[in-house]
Amino acid sequence: MSTNPWLRERATRTAFVRRSVSTFMPGERLEDAMAAAAAQQKQGIGTILTKLGENLTRVEEAEEVTRHYLDVLDKVQAAGLRAQISVKPTQLGLDLDKALCFANLQRLVDRAVERDNFVWIDMESSPYVDATLDLYRSTRTRSPRVGLAVQAYLYRTAQDVESLIPLGAAIRVVKGAYLEAPSIAYPKKADVDENFYTLCCRLLADDARKGGGLLHIATHDPRLVDRLASFIDQHRIPTSAYEYAMLYGIQRSLQQRLVQAGRPLRVLVAYGEYWFPWYMRRLAERPANVWFVIKNIFA
Ligand SMILES: Cc1cc2nc3c(=O)[nH]c(=O)nc-3n(C[C@H](O)[C@H](O)[C@H](O)COP(=O)(O)OP(=O)(O)OC[C@H]3O[C@@H](n4cnc5c(N)ncnc54)[C@H](O)[C@@H]3O)c2cc1C
């Protein structure tokens, strides 16, 4: 459903859907996201800003997105916010021209260096994984101010992580949000969860940390959050080596619990008009969300 244009056209005009999406994003404008970042900062929570959108068709659009993020990095510094940015390679033109995408990413990382900030690269669906790893590697050789998301549901990720560790990589481990075939991704949730734990432990190991690595534990799964907290305490891993990362509006009580326990936390705040596919993936992650929407549509 996230890729269905007919549904997107209709659903985004429905008042209830527009209202219910506000659970997951404070507003469509950058100003809304920055206000949410300021509120989070008061609670001791860092932010990751992301403008929704993917799979562009014109080079001009990639330029527009790049300029937008350059401006975000300027505005974040001017506002004194502790907010990084996270970008999708397809938003920077990966489908159109890989060299252009790399150049756009490099412009963002250069600006992040100037503004004492950091750029995260999202991982999209499986056909983009190799190109995204290439992008990361070539950007990382020029600056450490860039990190990469990897998906625990893919069988290949353990090997990819091994190849990234010697680079001193900042890695965000996520479970993975796209529909992938069992030939390349664990079909059982329990296996994805276990792989998530194993990958995070690997990235918290001495050799991974000594190379300057940073781990983002990006999950709302309380079991994994607590299991990894025990691992961290047991191995006396410093708070400079990791951060928990969650999405705006999801598991707020768990977010508060982490902050109260002195754990570093960042919350990703999404904004922009192109929220439909992203919203559908958030619904798909939790059947209760779908029932909530259906009930309200029929109410
Ligand atoms: C900071 C961040 C960045 C991400 N970047 C990427 C990326 O680059 N590429 C990518 O493929 N994926 C990305 N994701 C999404 C990720 O892959 C998962 O789809 C998403 O985090 C849901 O999985 P989970 O780990 O929270 O665990 P799950 O096992 O799905 O959920 C655990 C519990 O969390 C709660 N929960 C989870 N999702 C929801 C929801 N939508 N609504 C309400 N409650 C919910 C529920 O209580 C659920 O029982 C990112 C996620 C985060 C937090």
| CA of 84 relative to ligand 1 center, distance in Å | 19
Establish how many alpha carbons lie within 13 A of residue 285's alpha carbon, considering only the half-sphere containing its beta carbon.
Answer: 17
Give the model's pLDDT for residue 238. Answer: 96
Give the model's pLDDT for residue 76. Answer: 98
Give the model's pLDDT for residue 25. Answer: 86
| CA of 176 relative to ligand 1 center, distance in Å | 8
Establish how many alpha carbons lie within 13 A of residue 59's alpha carbon, considering only the half-sphere containing its beta carbon.
Answer: 6
Q: Which atom of ligand 1 is nearest to the CA of 282?
A: 41
Give the model's pLDDT for residue 267. Answer: 98
| CA of 246 relative to ligand 1 center, distance in Å | 7
Give the model's pLDDT for residue 20. Answer: 64
Using a 6 Å cutoff on CB, does residue 286 contact ligand 1? yes
Give the model's pLDDT for residue 19. Answer: 64
Using a 6 Å cutoff on CB, does residue 176 contact ligand 1? yes
| CA of 270 relative to ligand 1 center, distance in Å | 14
Using a 6 Å cutoff on CB, does residue 252 contact ligand 1? no
Spell out the residues 6+ positions from residue 171 whose beta carbon is closer than 8 angstroms to its own: 147, 148, 149, 150, 161, 164, 203, 213, 214, 215, 216
Give the model's pLDDT for residue 15. Answer: 65
β-pairing verdict for 119-121 and 170-174: unpaired
pLDDT mean by block of 10 residues, the chain; 299 residues:
65 64 84 97 98 84 96 98 97 95 98 98 97 97 96 98 95 95 96 98 94 93 98 97 96 96 97 77 70 61
Residue with CA closest to ligand 1 atom 21: 219
Using a 6 Å cutoff on CB, does residue 246 contact ligand 1? yes
Residue with CA closest to ligand 1 atom 38: 285
